């Protein structure tokens, strides 16, 4: 009998009790794109579509233990990192992942929720930049996060590119600055890698409040496509197409009283081109 293996991906992120972002969105995305999802939970949030009410941290040694348990047994082909809310946790994750340097890391520096709630301690930012970013294959900040990371105002495609160059100096391999918060007819993301030439990725704006978990979903989709064997730049493009369609398919669905989630299971198999 022929044996085979699932394409496995690990998410290191917080749990969203509302199901639209964090670990829940990551696992939905992995499954939707044909990957076997595993997880290391960093925190439990008291959260719904309206906002974040509280955050309970998971002990750092337990987070590190979850990572090693998955990496040593299931051997993921890619890692997605989401909410890392404390300096101690950032250091622990970095120290753990140094033993698995051959596995691509997609880091979504989750700092501000769609609702506007701050999700990360201020002192954690510098530790992230110093210890985790150099391990990252790709970092995917939105505009608010790009401002925090670059120390400059980021409100146009031109300043997005400038911020990307500054963030790249932290030692990460590539940066994707997401422009969704500009809410123009045509949205633009800026992709920059070590080759030095920025690439603009455009998509049509979809008028909907159902965008909760968009950043989590995008980084997880990129990790999925990388795990399935696509080069990074191509994985970014394919993940963008998947997220855009997931937003479109969930744009008119009523889920909660605030910012609703994407439709992760819209039949995305057409997105997989490998």
- Residue 185 makes CB contacts below 8 A (sequence gap 6+) with 204, 205
Q: Which two tokens stand for residue 236?
A: 């970014």
Among 219, 223, 151, 153, smallest CA distance to 181 is for: 153
Q: Which residues are catalytic?
A: 178, 211, 213-216
Q: What is the pLDDT of residue 166?
A: 97
Task: Return the sign of the alpha-carbon dihedral for residues 79, 131, 237, 266.
Answer: positive
**Distance between CA 57 and CA 171 in Å, rounded?**
28
CB 259 within 8 A of CB 220: no
The string of pLDDT tens digits covering residues 110-143 is 887 555 666 677 788 999 999 999 999 999 999 9
User: What average pLDDT does the segment 23-44 reach?
Assistant: 97
**Distance between CA 125 and CA 31 in Å, rounded?**
31
User: What average pLDDT does the segment 142-157 reach?
Assistant: 93
The answer to which of 13-17, 30-34, 115-119, 128-132 has the lowest mean pLDDT is 115-119
Domains contained in the chain, CATH given: 8-263 (3.40.1190.20)
Neighbours of 100 (CB within 10 A): 17
């Amino acid at each position: 009998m022929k044996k085979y293996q699932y394409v496995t991906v690990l998410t290191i992120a917080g749990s969203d009790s509302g199901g639209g972002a964090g670990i829940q969105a990551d696992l939905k995305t992995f499954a939707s794109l044909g990957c076997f999802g595993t997880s290391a939970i960093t925190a439990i949030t008291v959260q719904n579509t309206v906002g974040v009410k509280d955050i309970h941290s998971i002990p750092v040694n337990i987070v590190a233990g979850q990572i090693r348990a998955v990496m040593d047994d299931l051997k993921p082909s890619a890692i997605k990192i989401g909410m890392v809310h404390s300096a101690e946790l950032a250091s622990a994750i970095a120290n753990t992942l140094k033993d698995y340097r051959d596995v691509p890391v997609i880091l979504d520096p989750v700092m501000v929720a769609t609702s506007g709630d701050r999700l990360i301690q201020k002192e954690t930012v510098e530790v992230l930049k110093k210890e985790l970013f150099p391990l990252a294959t790709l970092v995917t900040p939105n505009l608010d996060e790009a401002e925090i990371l670059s120390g400059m105002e980021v409100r146009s495609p031109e300043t997005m590119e400038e911020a990307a160059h500054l963030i790249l100096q932290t030692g990460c391999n590539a940066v994707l600055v997401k422009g969704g918060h500009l809410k123009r007819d045509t949205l633009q993301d800026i992709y920059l890698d070590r080759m030095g030439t920025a690439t603009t990725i455009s998509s049509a704006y979809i008028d909907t409040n159902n965008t909760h978990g968009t950043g989590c979903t995008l980084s997880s989709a990129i990790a999925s496509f990388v795990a399935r064997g696509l080069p990074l730049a191509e994985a970014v493009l394919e993940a963008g197409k998947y997220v855009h369609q997931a937003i479109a398919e969930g744009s008119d669905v009523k889920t909660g009283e605030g910012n609703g989630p994407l439709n992760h299971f819209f039949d995305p198999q057409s997105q997989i081109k490998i």
